[in-house]
Structure 1
Amino acid sequence: MEKQQKQHNHHDHKLLLILYFLGLSVFIGAFFIENETWKMILNIVTIVLSGSHVIYEGFKDTVVTSIEKKGFYPNVHVLMTIAAFGAIFIHEYYEGAMLILIFAGAHYIEDYAEDKSKREISKLMNLNVPLARLILNDGTFKMVKVEELQIGDKVLCLTGEQIPTDGILSDEEATIDEHMITGESMPKEKIKNDKVYGGTINLSKDFVMEVTHLAHDTVLAKIIHLVSQTQTNISRTAKVIKKIEPIYVNIVLILAPIFYLAGVYLFDWGHDESIYRMMVFLIVTSPCALAATDIPASLSAISNLAKNGILFKGSNYVSLVNDVRVVAFDKTGTITKGKPVVMDIVYANSINENNKSFYNSLIYSLEVKSTHPIAIALVEYFKNEKFMDLDVEQMIGYGLSTKVNEKLYHIGKPKSIKDDNFNNQVEVFQKEGKTVVVLYEDDNPIILMTLMDIEKDNIKETIDFLRKENITTVLISGDQTYTADYIAHRVGIDKVYANVLPDQKQQIIEELKQEYGYTMMLGDGINDAPALVSADVGISMGDGTDIAIDVSDGVFMKNDISKLKYTKQISKKLRRIVIENMIFAMGVVLFLVIMNVFGLMRMPIAVVFHEGSTVLVILNGLRMLKRL
């Protein structure tokens, strides 16, 4: 049904364009005819043909809206229609035809500008893959609709084709182009069990993947859902303009006859000249340019952000970013990378250069048997060490242990360390928010190892940028105070809330709104969802939980916190362009009204100036499509 409606609208739009250009041809033809009667007829035909869109939309929207709201809510096109037929009434057929041609042409340019912005975003829709190669139990495959795939199904992905849905790689390796999802231009090298996303492209050999998400629940599906919301969620400025537009038109319709009477009885212009200037007044006071000050620019801004891996549910949120005075960050997965890395290795005096490699290999060979995040970090750190085939015992809450040369080795938490030097160092490390693990030899600590979930790349640069913009930064974390304070100090965050529960995060956001004004929250977890909802602008990370993405107002698809700087710059530029447009649009109206009062404005010039200002406003808004 929706598809049929779109096709119907497309056909209507095409017909109206044909009528417009047919009317333009008639108008041009009138120049080559000397008979005044035929000139009159052809100009009237031009008004009817080229103005069919303006006339139909003006009266239809006026009638529908007035009935719905139980009052008189005229569309701006009504002013142009009255002016055009007023021109016919005073026998200015050429001016009336020219008015309709330029006004309708400007209207089509505005439609094109908005459609272009929407098309830039809606290209994402074409990434949906309709069919997939489902691998059957006997090893063969059959083509099925992607909607029929179930979690756990095995799917074959051929070289050069789009991946049908989200899943994990079953083969050993693959190279995938993910730029349409993450914005990252370089292909990603994947290994077994890595995530792969629907809509991305297989650049390597054929591979098998396992489905982990149903078609409606993929990253791409969520992006498309975000995109669909941008079409109706307009900025506050656009809402205000839409609200005052019928009021403005009513005022103009009331002032027009007053303008005529003033011309006849106050300024002695005479009946015909007063009617003529009243028609010019209707033209120049039409808020066409004002109506176009925001929406084309806002849609272009959303399109620009989308092409750079930043998705917003509506232009009002993009606009609000410029008003934000405080930005609150979750720690894990937002400020930090979400996984520990090795920070320090401290050896006991008994370990020298001759036996250090033995102990390093021992640590590597112990930890390679575990899947704990700390073990994964230690394995990565010691990955170049020699592997020792050990008999490893794992005990939950205790750690890993083994025997080598009749000595018991154990890796675990620091406990009853008698060495004062080691004890002092453990205390210092823990105050820095680091996790400490110890290698014991027969219960004697011989190596201290610290790990930490460190900050993401470019986060300090982002915080510095916010400070220059006079925006306060806040860290809200469930971690212990030492850890939160240390990370905040490393990146330069102004204020820290530690040991915070999910419901307390929401309360803190409300307090920040009271203290600072407009507030932004960035997070990625389920525990961040209440705060993301409460903030004036909530932004989630692309790798975050489904709930966080669903409730947020925007998403950084690459999980790249530095995108905040670009978002702020786009929002600031959008605000500047909208203000420029509004000042210019109203300035042109004021100028034309004054010129008309002094008799220095004829209808053709008024039309060119007025509609030209509308085109310039639209083109100025389209500057938002350009990358900063």
Structure 2
Amino acid sequence: MSEENKHHHNGHEHSHEHHDSSEGHNHNHDGHEGHDHHDYDHGSMIEDFKRRFYISLIVTIPILVLSPMIQNFFGMEFSFPFDQYVLFGLATFVFFYGGWPFLTGSVDELKNKEPGMMTLIGLAIVVAYGYSSLVIFGWSGRNFFWELATLIDIMLLGHWIEMKSVMGASNALQELVKLMPNEAHRLKGNGGIEDVPLQKLNSDDLVLVKPGEKIPVDGTISEGKSAIDESMLTGESMPVEKNEEDEVIGGSINKEGSLKIRVKKTGDDTYLSQVITLVKEAQNSKSRAQDFANRAAKWLFYLALASGITTFIVWISLGFAFDIALERMVTVMVITCPHALGLAAPLVVAVSTSLSAKQGLLIRNRTQFENARTIDAVIFDKTGTLTKGEFGVTDVVPEKGEETDRLLYWAASVEQNSEHPLAQGILEKARNQGISLGDVKNFESMTGKGLQGRVDDKEVKVVSPGYIKEEGYSYDTEAFNKLSEEGKTVVFIIVDQNYLGMIAMADIVRESAKETVAELKKHNIQSIMLTGDNKKVAEWVANQIGIDEVYAEVLPDHKADQVKKVQKEGRKVAMTGDGVNDAPALATADVGVAIGSGTDVAVETADIVLVKSNPKDILSIIQLSKNTYKKMVQNLWWAAGYNIFAIPLAAGVLAPVGVVLSPAVGAILMSFSTIVVAINA
């Protein structure tokens, strides 16, 4: 995203942020409106540039026709009384209407002491407009109104192309706010229930959460037990069994039973509000790095100032008249802002963005995308990124004399009625083996222990290790210990009180993850795994994929710290993740990459989104980033190469031998470099 967009966006972003920090935790509808406003904002900016470009272009045509320099060049005469005042009027319109984004942008850049593209354009158009206006009102010399108008047109076109190709600024904070329900069912003293907005809840209030609802606040369970899906927040794919006195996090989803929850934290203290704060801090501290074209523009700005002033001093000291020296100075300053520069970067960006979109990569932040070429470490979140976040059967261990398929038949038949992710994995396995299932009757869930039902008139139970131990069944402890050390979830099958065997399940590793890590190694890029999961699970997954560096049991709010730690070692880090808990880390990393199947928050916080959720696309990002950068460098050399040749001529280096670059010839050279740049992109 070009620097000035960033200024506009940052302006909007900050205004949202303050709004969020004061009210975000109230989770009222303002957050949603802000979100819509923001999408509208980026869209309306694109429309604005487009409108300014077309209107300025139309007004430029009469400016060209009325410019004496263009008339001389084509050897034609065309004049009428006060024609130069009409020219002045048209040029004034283009200067203020078309040039407005650049004038305001240059003020922003100078305030931030970071002159860039805006300042360079601003300098050229102010000098050209000021000098040409003096000429119209009696100063001797030639006006540059046609230069002014064409420069503004091309720069508007460049910015419009670039903005259209790069997605809008981040709405991560609004997305986080959306995760919270707006209301809670508060229990009244007389046993009744009232629905109240979240901001009306106080500490120690009791709220009711029905099955399938989002938990509205951070608190502890005072009555009931259930499996709670915290994957949105912690990235952990397994629902967590919770009983009385266990803590729950606002924003997680209650799967099974009804719960009464005692409110512990409200407002700014809630887990989600803390994540919002972390994302905000990370977004603000991510250095406002300038992209390549802006850095080039910064040097050209200094060059233009220096060459202009030097030219003026030299011509005056050689005894020339003030107005001749001034004309030389203006010519140099106007020529230093090459029209080609305005298209050099945007055209490359537009091409690389559309190429990457075809490959399923959405670029949200262009500066960070450019930086991807320097990455030397990629941090992967485990669940949902390296793994699919879905459970699959890894081992079936029948007791002696039992058959694998028979064991699956009993388990899958009972699991047909369950919503649990483990059930889906067992059913999937049975389906793949072509096992047709029996009907289940009297199905019931034994909360925290497993489930039971009658299949083929036999009582079938699928239960947890805890139940087996409690009931004193004997089983193959060696096999069980080995499986649980690999971090697998094991269920036991009991038919008519007889133990028949166990089924082990784990989060399925993405095939593409192994290939990605191997390829990254070839390019000397280190892969690191970061997960909130326990160490054994993490190491088992890492061994399967080939990752050596593993940080396990990392709390969500420490993920960003872990990224900083790797950055402190002087490495450029890309972070890949998919959950709310990854958002602060995605915002902190040099390049944040979100898996498209992940949560909206992760997608909104990232610089690049992998639509196909294939980690292998990270390699494409790095490759594309390198190619994009190479093309930009070539283009900027073309754009600036013209300057290296034109500036000394405009300054009058060859004046002693009678060669002074007339602005008309300058214009032809300029058009030539613009065409070359466009073709190269």
Indicate the TM-score class for this superposition, using the shorter chain for normalisation. 0.5 to 0.7
Q: Which residue of 2 aligns with 1:597?
A: 653
Contact 1:366 1:401 in 2 (8 A): yes
Q: Does 1:22 align with 2:82?
A: no
Give runs of aligned pairs for residues 297-446 of structure 1, distance below 5 A: 297-298=348-349, 301-302=352-353, 304-305=355-356, 309-351=360-402, 358-383=406-431, 384-391=434-441, 392-401=443-452, 409-414=460-465, 415=468, 422-441=476-495, 445-446=499-500
Task: Tell me the distance in 2 between the aligned counterparts of 1:568 and 1:293.
Answer: 21
Q: 1:123 to 1:413 in 2, by over 3 A?
A: closer
Shift of residue 484, structure 1, vs aligned partner:
0.9
User: Which aligned pairs between 1:440-519 and structure 2 lie closer than 5 A?
Assistant: 440-441=494-495, 445-519=499-573
Range moving further from structure 2, 74-83 or 338-347? 74-83
TM-score between the two structures when normalised by the length of structure 2:
0.61
Give the CA deviation at 1:474.
0.9
**1:251 Cα deviation from its structure 2 partner:** 2.4
Q: Output the CA distance in 2 between the equivalents of 1:329 and 1:302.
A: 24
Aligned amino acid, residue 609 of structure 1: L
CA 1:573/1:42 → structure 2, altered by over 3 Å: closer, same or farther? farther
Instruction: Supply the distance in 1 between the matched residues of 2:436 and 2:168 (Cα, whole angstroms).
Output: 51
2:615 aligned residue (561, 576, 595):
561
Q: Which amino acid aligns with 1:366?
A: V
Number of aligned positions between the proteins: 501
Q: 2:633 aligns with which of 558, 562, 579?
A: 579
Q: Show CA shifts across 1:123-159 (max 9, x none).
A: 99xxxxxxxxxxxxxxxxxxxxxxxxxxxxxxxxxxx
Give secondary structure in 2 for the equivalent of 1:450: strand
Q: Does the residue aligned with 2:634 lie in a helix, a strand or coil?
A: helix
Q: In the alignment, is residue 111 of structure 1 matched against residue 156 of structure 2?
A: yes
Contact 2:300–2:337 (Cα < 8 Å) also in 1: no
Corresponding residue for residue 313 of structure 2: 258
Q: 1:372 is matched by which residue type in structure 2?
A: H
Q: Check the 8 A contact 1:532/1:538 in 2, yes or no.
A: yes
Deviation at 1:286, TM superposition (A): 3.4
- Report if the CA contact (8 A) 1:27-1:43 is conserved: no
- Kept in 1, the 8 Å contact 2:413–2:455? The answer is no
Q: Is the 8 A contact 2:161 2:347 kept in 1?
A: no
Amino acid at match of 2:438: M
Does 39-48 or 247-256 show the bigger shift? 39-48
1:55 Cα offset (Å) = 4.8
Question: CA separation of 1:615/1:50 partners in 2, compared to 1, >3 Å: closer, same or farther?
Answer: farther
- Inter-CA distance 123–483: structure 2 relative to 1 (3 Å threshold): closer
Corresponding residue number in structure 1 for 2:222: none
Distance 1:456 1:463 in 2: 12
1:319 and 1:68 mapped to 2: Cα distance?
21
Give the residue type in structure 1 aligned to 2:384: G
Find the aligned partners of 1:377 and 1:59 in 2 and give their Cα distance: 61
| Structure 1 pair 102–282 and aligned structure 2 pair: CA distance change class (3 A) | closer
Give the corresponding residue for 1:607. 667
1:152 paired residue number: none
Residue 337 of structure 1 and its aligned partner are, at CA, apart by: 0.7
> Residues of 2 paired with 1:534 and 1:340: CA distance?
30
Counterpart in 2 of 1:143? none
Deviations 1:264-293 (A, max 9, x none): 36xxx9999978865654454335444554
Structure 1 residues 540 and 375, CA gap change in structure 2 (3 angstroms):
same
- CA contact under 8 A between 1:529 and 1:548: conserved in structure 2? yes
- Paired position in structure 2 for 1:166: none
The residue number in structure 2 matching 1:201 is: none
For 2:590 and 2:545, locate their aligned partners in 1 and report how far apart those are by CA, in whole Å. Answer: 24
CA–CA distance in structure 2, aligned partners of residues 7 and 337 of structure 1: 39
1:41-120 matches, cutoff 5 A: 48=88, 51-52=91-92, 55-56=95-96, 75-81=123-129, 101=146, 104-105=149-150, 107-120=152-165
In the alignment, the residues of structure 1 paired with residue 564 and residue 312 of structure 2 have an alpha-carbon distance, to the nearest angstrom, of: 52
- By how many angstroms is 1:374 displaced? 1.2
Query: How much has 1:446 moved relative to structure 2?
Result: 3.3
TM-score (norm 1): 0.65
Q: State the shift of 1:514 in Å.
A: 0.6
Q: CA shift at 1:57, angstroms?
A: 6.8
Aligned counterpart, 1:286: 337
- CA separation of 1:597 and 1:442: change in aligned 2, threshold 3 A: same
For 2:66 and 2:456, the matched residues in 1 are separated by 102
3-state SS of 1:387 partner = coil
Rounded Cα–Cα distance in structure 2 between residues aligned with 1:34 and 1:514: 65
Does the 8 A contact of 1:455 with 1:487 survive in 2? yes
Q: Unpaired segments of 5 or more residues in structure 2?
A: 1-39, 170-283
Change (3 A) 1:86 1:464: farther
Instruction: Give the partner amino acid of 2:492.
Output: V
Contact 1:117 1:299 in 2 (8 A): yes
Q: CA deviation at 1:560?
A: 3.3
Please list the CA deviations of residues 546-597 of structure 1 after superposition, one character each: whole Å capped at 9, or x if unmatched.
Answer: 4434444443344333332332223222322332233333332222245552
Aligned pair in 2 of structure 1 residues 449, 419: CA closer, same or farther (>3 Å)? Answer: same
CA shift in 2, pair 1:248/1:591, >3 Å: closer
The alpha-carbon deviation at position 445 of structure 1 amounts to 4.5
- Counterpart CA distance in 1 for 2:326 and 2:401 is 105
Deviation at 1:479, TM superposition (A): 1.7
Query: Partners in 2 of 1:68 and 1:453 — Cα distance?
Result: 49
CA RMSD, aligned part only?
4.7
Q: 1:235 to 1:563 in 2, by over 3 A?
A: farther
Q: Which is further off, 5-14 or 247-256? A: 5-14
Identity of aligned residues (%): 25
Q: Which residues of structure 1 form unaligned runs of 5+?
A: 125-228, 624-628
User: Structure 1's 521 and 85: CA in aligned 2 closer, same or farther, altered over 3 A?
Assistant: same
Q: Distance in 1 between matches of 2:87 and 2:479?
A: 87
3-state SS of 1:369 partner: coil
- CA distance in 1 between counterparts of 2:376 and 2:408 reads 49
